[in-house]
Structure 1
Amino acid sequence: MDFGGGDEIRFETMGQAGVVTLTRPKALNALTGQMVHALAAALNAWEKDASVRLVLVRGEGRAFCAGGDIMDVYRAGRAGERHVEFFADEYRMNAQLARFPKPYVALIDGIVMGGGVGISAHGSHRVMTENAIVAMPEVGIGFFPDVGGSHVLSRLPGAFGMYMALTGNRVRQGDALAVGLATQTIRSESQQEFVEALTASGEVEEVLRRFHVAVPAETDAATFAAIERHFSQETLEAALASLKEEAGAGDAFASKTLATILSRSPTSLKVAWREIRRGADLSMDDCMRMEFRVLNRMLDGHDFYEGIRAVLVDKGSTPVWNPPTLDGVSDAAAEAYFAPLGDRELIL
């Protein structure tokens, strides 16, 4: 079955299901434009196909999907070009997935970050094994939580989504289940049996009940309470002040979290704070339109290219942010990222 994905993504019908397999394991299944277009085409076809009762998506190798393949975007930006259309197509596909009327089961056995969250979190079911590692690490590369991050993260309980957005910290299976990033958890060793049962019967809820194995959260109740206390503040400055106060009193969690945040792009932090707060009151489509506005300004800026240089090009080097501190990013400058684009707005 060919929806134009080449050797980067495979489509099959198995029993009652349309099955999507990301097939770039050496690149941790990072999304390309070709993969985005193919997945969108498959969803269009399978939505109308009565023989397909559900869609299952999975990844080859040790990652579900580690994000978007952004090196082309980086190289284009360094050459003075802007690859906006890759993001526009990806955002349209994310919105399409959120509207998909059939069960959409993401089987996550490994790394899922950025664009990988975009092709899993908006579906009806996120099934994670003990190997799952979830993160939205964009502020660490001078970017922002996109692909519908404003919609997903803003709706997690206890301000956990804001914590994820501002730290970029990784979340394991138990915490993902506790906050709703995962809808079910299964053992990695049962994946093949799970896929066979799901595709054969098409009875999603019954099969999930049979394979689900409850797991405890990795984070204790006191730390969850601390996350809510710090990250539900009314402003970014108040959240940082709260962390600083407890760090000064010797609290290890506050100290480590504060240090992590202060290493991130100041511009990204101020934009991400606003994005997540606003996303809570927006529909998925409106979140994507808002994120596209921010995306356009990020591609015109400095920190995104500097972050990619430090993390992916000169691996392990320290990025030099501009402005270098939060004090250097005015409220007006942060607000400018959200201004309308006129005739360049995202059309869904």
Structure 2
Amino acid sequence: MAKEVITSDEQVVLGEEIGHVRLITLNQPRRLNVISSKVVSLLAEYLEKWEKDDDAELILIKGAGRAFSAGGDLKMFYDGRTSKDSCLEVVYRMYWLCYHIHTYQKTQVALVHGISMGGGASLMVPMKFSVVTEKTVFATPEASIGFHTDCGFSYILSRLPGHLGEYLGLTGARLNGKELVAAGLATHFVPSEKLPELEKQLISLNSGEENAVKSVIEEFSVDIQIDEGSVLNKRATMDECFSKETVEDIISSLEAEATQEGNDWMTATLQGLKRSSPIALKITFQSIREARKQILSECLKKEFRLTMNILRTVISGDVYEGIRAFTIDKDNSPKWDPSTLEKVEAEKLNLVFQPFEEDWELKIPIREDSRWEGKYEDSPYAPSK
């Protein structure tokens, strides 16, 4: 089969056209394949081109090196903190891209080896097939740095069994490959040593026919059994605690349950919650709860507003303080404002959820024949508008 490699100037994303297969490689291994503005633009460009190309049938995506993707480029956000809306374009493009990943019209397979966190996991979970290994590590740790569950994860987490979504979103707990399959966040578990051969076989298949793709993956996949100590085996207690109506009540419930035999796992959970940004915990909790009654487009529009309002420090600068403490200075001692859950005012919290004027909302395509419209450059945010 003819093989054409399409690269960007910086080669942060590689696009290969091999027969009817299209292969995307996130190509910043030293930076754990973080999602920068350039990455978002290239992903959107490739996916639009290939969805419209009748010759493209199967899309594969993987990460170079030891990570699939560690998520958004936090330094990019931090460096832009003093310039008004410096990251607006990449934020808009990312949410617009998330919609198209969720609704993509060709068969997609994510080959997930290593870290897959935050926005990086948004390139994995929505795929028709997401293949993980024993080296896969997943988390949505945004609340711990003063942010919120973004890139469609209020929608994704709200649809997990019971209140597992609230648990993952609020605590940033990590799941391994087997746990991801058990939780419904991945479709297949393949031992890491078999992943390169699986990729070769999918390319050799040269087809996007869904059942054929599934059959190839199943030749390599193995049945999973989660470890006895997995938090997924604590679901009854987890659901009891994380079903509460406020973050404060969740913490109180955890504190009460932590005294019971067999609940040692709650100690680390409580410590993590109490270290996280109070305002971020409240925003994340409300966003996931609202998402239970929202469709995908509503969730993405809401998350776009939340992201912009948080970056604009409408009610708090915690996101920049969190990035400073954990990524820039690495002193691990953020000074949150407000400093406790009790000091978070409901009226201020609601400010970040308020809809924008219609023209300034994220544009989600309504009709299938115009599904690639609504780009950033066509929005009123673009400099030429």
Fold in common (TM above 0.5): yes
CA distance in 2, matches of 1:199, 1:118: 23
User: Aligned match of 1:310 in 325, 333, 336?
Assistant: 325
CA distance in 2, matches of 1:89, 1:341: 17
CA distance in 1, matches of 2:221, 2:180: 14
Given the alignment of the two structures, is residue 260 of structure 1 paired with residue 283 of structure 2, yes or no?
no
Alpha-carbon distance change, 276 to 24 in structure 1, aligned in 2, over 3 angstroms: same
Alpha-carbon distance change, 228 to 81 in structure 1, aligned in 2, over 3 angstroms: same
Which string of whole-angstrom CA distances, capped at 9 and with x for unpartnered residues, describes residues 135-170 of structure 1? Answer: 011011100010001111111113111111000111
Query: What is the identity percentage for the equivalent residue pairs of Structure 1 and Structure 2?
Result: 34
Question: Displacement, 1:52?
Answer: 1.7
Moved over 3 A (4+): 1-6, 78-82, 248-251
CA distance in 2, matches of 1:100, 1:247: 43
Aligned residue pairs: how many?
348
Question: Displacement, 1:262?
Answer: 1.1
**Alignment map for 1:175-214 (pairs within 5 Å):** 175-201=179-205, 202=207, 203-214=212-223
CA distance in 2, matches of 1:44, 1:245: 51
User: Aligned match of 1:38 in 30, 36, 42?
Assistant: 42
| Residues 25, 61 of structure 1: 8 Å contact kept | yes
- Scaled by the length of structure 2, what TM-score is found? 0.87
Residue identity opposite 1:320 in structure 2: K
CA distance in 1, matches of 2:90, 2:319: 16
> Quick check: 309-318 or 180-189, which moved more?
309-318
Given the alignment of the two structures, is residue 245 of structure 1 paired with residue 256 of structure 2, yes or no?
yes
Alpha-carbon distance change, 25 to 220 in structure 1, aligned in 2, over 3 angstroms: closer
Question: Displacement, 1:70?
Answer: 2.4
User: Aligned match of 1:270 in 282, 291, 297?
Assistant: 282
CA distance in 1, matches of 2:97, 2:323: 24
CA distance in 1, matches of 2:338, 2:231: 36
| Residues 141, 307 of structure 1: 8 Å contact kept | yes
Structure 2, gaps ≥5 residues long: 365-385
Question: Displacement, 1:43?
Answer: 0.9
| Residues 4, 37 of structure 1: 8 Å contact kept | no
Match of 1:288 in 2: 300
Which string of whole-angstrom CA distances, capped at 9 and with x for unpartnered residues, describes residues 49-69 of structure 1? Answer: 222211000001110000011
CA distance in 2, matches of 1:155, 1:236: 19
Match of 1:279 in 2: 291
Match of 2:128 in 1: 124
Alpha-carbon distance change, 220 to 328 in structure 1, aligned in 2, over 3 angstroms: closer
Structure 1, gaps ≥5 residues long: none
Question: Displacement, 1:83?
Answer: 1.6
> Quick check: 68-77 or 218-227, which moved more?
218-227
Match of 2:379 in 1: none
CA distance in 2, matches of 1:215, 1:5: 41
CA distance in 2, matches of 1:234, 1:325: 18
CA distance in 1, matches of 2:200, 2:233: 40
CA RMSD of aligned residues (A): 1.6
Residue identity opposite 1:257 in structure 2: T
Higher share in helix: 1
CA distance in 2, matches of 1:81, 1:221: 40
| Residues 85, 312 of structure 2: 8 Å contact kept | no
Residue identity opposite 1:142 in structure 2: G
- Scaled by the length of structure 1, what TM-score is found? 0.95
- Give the match's secondary structure for 1:36: helix
Match of 1:324 in 2: 339
CA distance in 1, matches of 2:344, 2:232: 34
CA distance in 2, matches of 1:163, 1:258: 11
**Alignment map for 1:219-234 (pairs within 5 Å):** 219=230, 222-234=233-245
Question: Displacement, 1:258?
Answer: 1.5
